[in-house]
């Protein structure tokens, strides 16, 4: 199985901050990487697919980049509704696997 490791596991930030979350894969996954946002009691919501393609309806402050084993999610200017947990997920080879999550908290 491909192991996905996110860093940091949590972070504190203020509204307006630029935030970057990293996802490392145990082997190359090219750009077969998706990002999801989850708030408490809700299901995950797709933000980014194919490493950098923005899902319809997702604000442009979210962006994804990278390929191979090192991929990132960036929030250019953190908004109050962005405080949540973010997960990466590889779609390179089954079984599809997720990172352990990065919790973004209010500073």
Partner 1 sequence: QVQLQESGPGLVKPSETLSLTCTVSGVSVSSGSYSWSWIRQPPGKAMEWIGDMSYIGRGNYNPSLKSRVTLSIETSKNLFSLKVTSVTAADTAVYYCARWRQLQGLYYFASWGQGTLVTVSS
- Contacting residues toward partner 1, per CB under 8 A: 32, 34, 36, 42-46, 49-50, 53, 87, 89, 91, 94-101
Distance of closest approach, residue 91 Cβ to partner 1, in angstroms:
4
Nearer to partner 1, 72 or 89 (CB): 89
Nearest to 31 by CA among 58, 53, 59, 46: 53
Q: Are 105 and 87 in contact (CB under 8 A)?
A: no
Distance of closest approach, residue 70 Cβ to partner 1, in angstroms:
19
Nearer to partner 1, 79 or 93 (CB): 93
Distance of closest approach, residue 87 Cβ to partner 1, in angstroms:
7
* Beta strands at 10-13 and 102-106: parallel, antiparallel or unpaired: parallel
Q: Is the four-CA dihedral 47, 52, 57, 62 of positive or negative sign?
A: positive
End-to-end CA distance of the chain: give it in Å, rounded. 36
Distance of closest approach, residue 14 Cβ to partner 1, in angstroms:
27
Nearer to partner 1, 44 or 78 (CB): 44
Nearer to partner 1, 12 or 53 (CB): 53
**Number of H-type helices and E-type strands within the chain:** 0, 11
């Amino acid at each position: 199985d491909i192991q996905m490791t996110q860093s940091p596991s949590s972070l504190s930030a203020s509204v307006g901050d630029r935030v970057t979350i990293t996802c490392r894969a145990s082997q190359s996954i090219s750009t077969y990487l998706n990002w999801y946002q989850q708030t408490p009691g809700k299901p995950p919501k797709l933000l980014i697919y194919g490493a950098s393609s923005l899902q319809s309806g997702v604000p442009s402050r979210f962006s994804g980049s990278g390929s191979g084993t090192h991929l990132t999610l960036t929030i250019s200017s953190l908004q109050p509704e962005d405080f949540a947990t973010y997960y990466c997920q590889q779609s390179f080879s089954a079984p599809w696997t997720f990172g352990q999550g990065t919790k973004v908290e209010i500073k």
